[in-house]
C-alpha cells in the first residue's frame, strides 16, 4: 500500500467517514502508481470516460448482455466493487437540463 493510499485509508477509519478521491488519467488513459494504489485499496472504484457518438459499449442487466450505441454527450461510468460482492456495473450518463442523468440504455434510440 503506498503512502497516499495508507493515509486516506487510516483517516477514513479513524473518522468513520467515507472519503472520495478524484484522480485524472493522462490523455492515453494511463494512471500514476499512486492512482493504481488508490484503486487497489478502495472499497469501490469508479472511472468515467467520455464516449464518441457511435461507440459500442457492452452493457448488462437482468435480461442479459447487450450492446449500446453511444450518442452525442454520453459518458460511460464504470463501478468496480473491490471489497464487496455487488460486482461490476456499467452506467451510461448523459447531460440534460444542466445535469448528468443515468440513461435507460434498453429504451435508447439506435440510429
Over its C-alpha atoms, the chain yields an Rg (Å, rounded) of 16
Do 51 and 81 lie in one domain? The reply is: yes
Do 38 and 50 lie in one domain? The reply is: no
Express each pLDDT in 10-53 by its tens digit: 898 899 988 887 776 665 666 677 677 777 777 777 778 889 99
Give the rounded percent of residues in the chain with a pLDDT score beyond 90. 8
Do 36 and 71 lie in one domain? The reply is: no
Q: What is the structure's pLDDT at 110? A: 47
Q: What is the structure's pLDDT at 109? A: 45
> Per the structure, how many domains does the chain have?
2
Distance, in Å, from the CA atom of 3 to the CA atom of 12, rounded to the nearest integer, reads 14
Q: What is the structure's pLDDT at 25? A: 67
Considering 29-33, 57-61, 68-72, 97-101, the range whose residues carry the highest mean pLDDT is 68-72
- Which of 47, 46, 35 shows the shortest CA–CA distance to 8? 35
Do 34 and 84 lie in one domain? The reply is: no
- Which of 64, 95, 63 shows the shortest CA–CA distance to 77? 95
What is the residue range of 64's domain? Answer: 43-111
Do 102 and 71 lie in one domain? The reply is: yes
Do 64 and 77 lie in one domain? The reply is: yes
Amino acid at each position: 500500500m503506498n503512502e497516499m493510499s495508507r493515509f486516506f485509508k487510516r483517516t477514513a477509519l479513524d473518522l468513520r467517514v467515507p472519503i472520495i478521491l478524484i484522480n485524472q488519467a493522462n490523455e492515453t488513459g494511463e494512471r500514476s502508481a499512486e492512482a493504481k494504489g488508490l484503486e487497489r485499496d478502495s472499497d469501490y472504484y469508479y472511472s468515467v470516460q467520455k464516449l464518441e457518438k457511435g461507440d459500442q459499449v457492452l452493457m448488462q442487466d437482468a435480461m442479459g448482455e447487450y450492446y449500446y450505441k453511444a450518442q452525442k454527450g454520453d459518458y460511460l461510468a464504470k463501478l468496480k466493487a473491490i471489497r464487496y460482492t455487488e460486482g461490476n456495473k456499467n452506467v451510461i450518463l448523459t447531460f440534460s437540463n444542466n445535469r448528468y442523468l443515468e440513461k435507460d440504455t434498453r429504451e435508447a434510440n439506435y440510429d
